[in-house]
Chain A
Amino acid sequence: MSRDLTKALSDWLVRGGERIGQIALAPVREGWELRHSDDAGRTDLALHLRPEAARDLANFDAQGNFRPLKTAPTLVRGWRLVLPEATAVRRALDYFYPAMTGVWLSHQGGELVPVILRETLARQSGMYRVTQKLTDADARQLIDGFCAGCLKHRLWEIATHNPQPPAFAQDTLPLLCHEACNLLIAKAREVAKQADRPA
């Protein structure tokens, strides 16, 4: 086995790791407890005991809208999830923030390669090929608007890597974006199609 993400996560928790995105983690008698960070101190939270509960908790916002972008700052409140060990925590976090623990470990090991937007757009095909016509100005506007609604730290830029290294406290597991997501590509398609339309 080339890596052991569960062990890395366990080590981070034992060293005092207590925050990922909008989630606060804390050691409890039964193992580890996860809750919304805004629910600190609340005693009226609905208790869940299976990591799979995170799937439903992550799927909808407080208004019942589907959350295709799990790192949007719209995680529902009012729950706590108590899990026995790091394997279950890893599984739950993969529902709350898909792939983010693994991306963090890759980043720590120097194995995370950011992909600039132009490269991501260049390989699109089919209905998304039109995104290759996206201008830098439109791309800038899109990123500034769409990505503002995401908690991930962006490691890429339009034509360069983001020179700003992520700065996170030891107790915080960072949410890292190493490549434009499909939601952004879908938005880019809308913008590029609009701009491509004959006047």
Chain B
Amino acid sequence: MSPKPDSALVIIGHGSTVNPDSSAPTFDHTEALRARGVFGEVHCAFWKEEPSCRQVWHMVDRDDIYVVPNFISEGYFTKTVIPRELELDGTVTRRGGRVIKYCEPVGNDARMTELLLRRAAEIAPGVDPAQTSLFIVGHGTNLNDNSAAAAKREVARIRESGLYGEVLNAYMEEEPLIAKWDQVATQPNVVVVPFFISDGLHSYEDIPVLLGIVGGSAGAASASAQEVFQRNPYRLRGRTLFYASAIGTEPLFADVILGQVAAFDAVHAA
């Protein structure tokens, strides 16, 4: 992307009042993009953490501002909460000499497929994809969210590539349940990639418990946290299982954020 020294980039994340894991990837991508120097300034803001969406405009010096939601899908947050909290009028907001350009969420980027494939290959080095069942795990049940639709879209794209023996959707709280992975998967190897923006209780605890790679109830894995990704492969239920951290922790997400800015410019250049 050509440099935009006169523009600011603001990345919006969900954040958490309970732990720093939810906002960590957004902070990481912000720091990475700041170091690249493409934009005159780069900031991030959150719904549940500080700086908040209500504070972030005071942090920005420049008048030309791109806003990229670091969310997996279009939905309640990207359509309702973020525009309201940032006082956006639509895709382009002109206010007080500023032009604010509201980009699509990162999950819509076409490179998401490439990142999922990359993460899946990294976590299971030397394993033949043709003999592997790849699960893309979403949350499910969130009625206001299209994350299930986004996950299905990615599964369809990866399936088209023909790389993996099979590619499957699964969810934590709705069918097909990730807890039944061994009943669904037909291949000897199983790779599981959480289609989430950040690691947190879901990826550290809930999904590992549902997979059966940590014992007991949810909460059992809290002491291990990152360790759950480092003990691959897991040999259970007659398969070899590899478990990846959330896709949003992938450093290449910074490029996806830039991609959403480029996509905005491509559509609105005229």
Please list the residues of chain A having a beta carbon within 8 angstroms of any beta carbon in chain B: 1-6, 52, 55, 59-60, 66, 68-70, 94, 98-99, 101-103, 105-106, 112, 115, 123, 125-126, 178-179, 181-183, 186
Contacts and interface: CB of A to CB of B under 8 A. Distances in A.
A181 B76 CA distance: 20
Interface of B: 6, 16-20, 27, 31, 40, 43, 47-52, 54-56, 58-63, 76, 80-81, 84, 97-98, 144
B17 A1 contact: no
Contacts of B84: 123, 125
Contact of A125 (B20, B31, B56, B80): B80
B80 to A, nearest CB: 6
A94 B56 CA distance: 11
A70 B98 CA distance: 28
A133 to B, nearest CB: 20
A103 B40 CA distance: 20
A5 B57 CA distance: 12
Contacts of B27: 55
Contacts of A115: 54
A3 B57 CA distance: 12
A58 to B, nearest CB: 10
A181 B31 CA distance: 24
A2 B97 contact: yes
B63 A2 contact: yes
Nearest to A103: B58
A2 B61 contact: yes
14 contacts: A1-B40, A2-B63, A2-B98, A55-B27, A66-B20, A68-B16, A68-B50, A70-B50, A94-B43, A94-B51, A98-B50, A99-B51, A102-B60, A182-B17
Of all A-B residue pairs in the complex, the 9 with the closest CB atoms, nearest first, are A99-B55, A102-B58, A98-B51, A98-B50, A99-B51, A102-B59, A68-B17, A106-B58, A103-B58
A99 B50 contact: yes
A52 B34 CA distance: 12
B253 to A, nearest CB: 18
Given A1-B6, A99-B51, A126-B144, A59 B61 contact: no
B96 to A, nearest CB: 8
A197 to B, nearest CB: 23
Nearest to B56: A99
Nearest to B55: A99
Contacts of A59: 20
B47 A182 contact: yes
A179 B85 CA distance: 12
A66 B50 contact: no
A5 B61 contact: yes
Contact of B18 (A68, A98, A103): A68
A186 B17 contact: yes
A66 B61 contact: no
A5 B98 contact: no
Given A66-B20, A123-B84, A4 B59 contact: no
A94 B20 contact: no
Nearest to B40: A1
Given A5-B59, A182-B47, 16 more contacts: A1-B63, A2-B97, A4-B61, A52-B31, A59-B20, A66-B18, A68-B16, A68-B49, A69-B50, A94-B51, A98-B50, A102-B59, A103-B58, A125-B80, A182-B17, A182-B52
B61 A125 contact: no
B55 A103 contact: yes
B58 A105 contact: yes
B89 to A, nearest CB: 15
A181 B59 contact: no
B24 to A, nearest CB: 9
Nearest to A60: B20
Q: Which of A55, A66, A68, A183 has the most CB of B within 10 A?
A: A68
Q: Which of B20, B49, B58, B98 has the most CB of A within 10 A?
A: B58
A1 B64 CA distance: 9
Nearest to A179: B54
A186 B48 CA distance: 9
Given A55-B27, A69-B50, A98-B55, A183 B17 contact: yes
